[in-house]
Amino acid sequence: MIVVGGGLAGLRAVEALRGNGHEGALTLVSAEPHPPYDRPPLSKAVLAGETDDTTVEADWDLLRCDLLLGQRATGLRLDAPGRGGVVASTAGDLPFDGLVIATGAAPITLPGDGRQHVLRTIDQARELRSRLVDGARIVIVGAGWIGAEVATAAAKRGCAVTVVEAADAPLSTALGPEVGAFTAPWYAEAGVELRTGVKVAEVRDGGLLLAGGGRIDADEVVVGIGVRPDLSWLDGSGLLLERGVVTDGSFRALLDDGEPGSTRPDVVAVGDCAAWWSARYGRPLLVEHWDVALNAPDVAAAALLGGNAVYDVAPYFWSEQFGRMVQYAGNHATSERIVHRGDSSGRKWSVAWLTDDRLDAILTVDRPRDLVQAKRVIAAGTPVDAAAIADPDVPVRQAVRG
């Protein structure tokens, strides 16, 4: 068995393969020189200077896994279905009987020859932290999750922070403009300038050149406008690639052979590069968050070893920004309406998305109990009373009908 990708999903795949009874050879190939580590703390504890190391504890001797660190997969050649193939890599050709693709995603960058920081690796986090000094002019492009978290850390370190967002509100892509707008006052409260509706043409030395003219001066530019799955090494492999490695509900990779639903039983994909079929939502989901990287490899490893488990958990993620714990569960892409649960101008509130009497998703701000109870309701699919959901004094579990 070969696992390509040294992030959390790759480590969890190694652990799950051993836990599900694989006794044969096992190799993990990672482009990074570091053993697997957690990424969520990079924009939080690492930038804040609270830690320098987020390595995930693992007993590699017990796992009996060969680590090929600092080595990158460069291609994939598949043999007949079920017969494995070869991963081409900078360490040479690596034959396999079973393959886990866990190569994650790479940050999107902006045009221009000026220096721009992205935040994906521990080395990038340490480098950026060294630049967040008192009085430094820090311009962040993108008011999404990463942008808000970097702005939080930079402001706390005494930087003069400006956040530039092309949409009309923060988090518009993730939450929609109506809900995202509720977070806009947090920036001013933290002493951060937020400029929405501003598009960037390119990054230049000393700042940003804006589309349509204008410039923003900066000592450092941080770009947080999203990521793309790292799939270039899979070009020509015969796997179906559409915004990720397309898989079935068990994470078996689909083939690009014109036969709907045809899979490779000896190839699975997990983590930020996998677009897995969700029966719950009736479409593939690509969820670039820690929770899926942690839990999905159990199902993928079982499938690679001949099992038939299916992963169909409602997505969940969290963010710590401007002194608030923000959590989200579910998927509101097709929801019919938004129900406000508390005053969004206050310190603690939630927003729920509903379709008829079904709770599709919830966003909570410093209301962890709402989140925990809503996750159970979403998972069960039980009907809820919209009026009860709108009352912040009614526990979510008591809003369930019947």
- Whose structure tokens read 């492999």? 237
**Cα 315 from chain centroid?**
10
Kindly tell me the sign of the dihedral angle through the C-alpha atoms of 388, 391, 393, 396: positive
Asked if 322 and 185 count as a contact pair (C-beta separation under 8 A), the reply is no
Helix (H) or strand (E) holding 261, with range, is none
Task: Return the residue matching tokens 């968050």.
Answer: 289
> Sheet harboring 215-217: ordered strands across?
200-204, 207-210, 215-217
3-state helix, strand, coil in the chain (%, to 5): 25, 30, 40
- Are 32 and 70 a contacting pair, CB within 8 Å? yes
Residue 99, SS3 per DSSP = strand
| Pair 48, 153: CB distance under 8 Å | yes
Q: What is the pLDDT of residue 81?
A: 84
Q: Return the structure tokens found at 65.
A: 């896994």
What was the pLDDT predicted at 373? 97
pLDDT for the residue 259: 81
Per-residue pLDDT tens listing for the chain (402 residues): 999 999 999 999 999 999 999 999 999 999 999 999 999 999 999 999 999 999 999 999 999 999 999 999 999 999 988 899 999 999 999 999 999 999 999 999 999 999 999 999 999 999 999 999 999 999 999 999 999 999 999 999 999 999 999 999 999 999 999 999 999 999 999 999 999 999 999 999 999 999 989 999 999 999 999 999 999 999 999 999 998 999 999 999 999 987 887 999 999 999 999 999 999 889 999 999 999 999 999 999 999 999 989 998 999 999 999 999 999 999 999 999 999 999 999 999 999 999 999 999 999 999 999 999 999 999 999 999 999 999 999 999 999 987
340: exposed, middle or buried (Cβ count in 10 Å: 0-12, 13-18, 19+)? middle
State the Rg of the chain over Cα: 22
CA–CA distance, 305 with 17 (Å, rounded to integer): 8
Q: Residues with Cβ < 8 Å from 27, sequence gap 6 or more?
A: 1, 2, 3, 65, 66, 67, 68, 94
Q: What is the distance between the alpha carbons of residues 124 and 388, in angstroms, rounded to a whole number?
A: 46
Contact 291, 285 (CB under 8 A): no
φ, ψ for residue 222 (rounded to 5)?
A: -115, 130
Please, where are the H alpha helices in 210-359?
290-304
Task: For 179-226, give the secondary structure using H, E and C.
Answer: HHHHHHHHHHHCCCEEEECCCEEEEECCEEEECCCCEEECCEEEECCC
d(CA 67, CA 44): 28
Contacts of 52 (CB under 8 A, 6+ apart): 46, 126
Of 201, 249, 237, nearest to 221 by C-alpha is 201
Structural domains in the chain plus CATH codes = 2-106+227-304 (3.50.50.60), 109-223 (3.50.50.60), 323-399 (3.30.390.30)
Q: Give the Cα separation of 142 and 282 in Å (integer).
A: 30
- For residue 37, what pLDDT is reported? 96
Residue 334 burial (CB count, 10 A) = 11
**Spatial distance between the Cα atoms of 198 and 263, rounded to a whole number of angstroms:** 44
What length does the chain have? 402
Can you give the pTM of this predicted structure?
Answer: 0.94
Phi, psi (5° rounding) for residue 277? -75, 125
Other CB atoms closer than 10 Å to residue 10's CB: what's the count? 25
Give bridge partners of residue 260 from the DSSP assignment. Answer: none
Whether 21 contacts 44, CB under 8 Å: no
- Using CA atoms, how far residue 249 sits from 39, 246, 275, 300, 376, in Å, is 25, 10, 10, 9, 21
Residue 82: per-residue pLDDT? 84
Is the CB of residue 194 less than 8 Å from the CB of residue 216? Answer: no
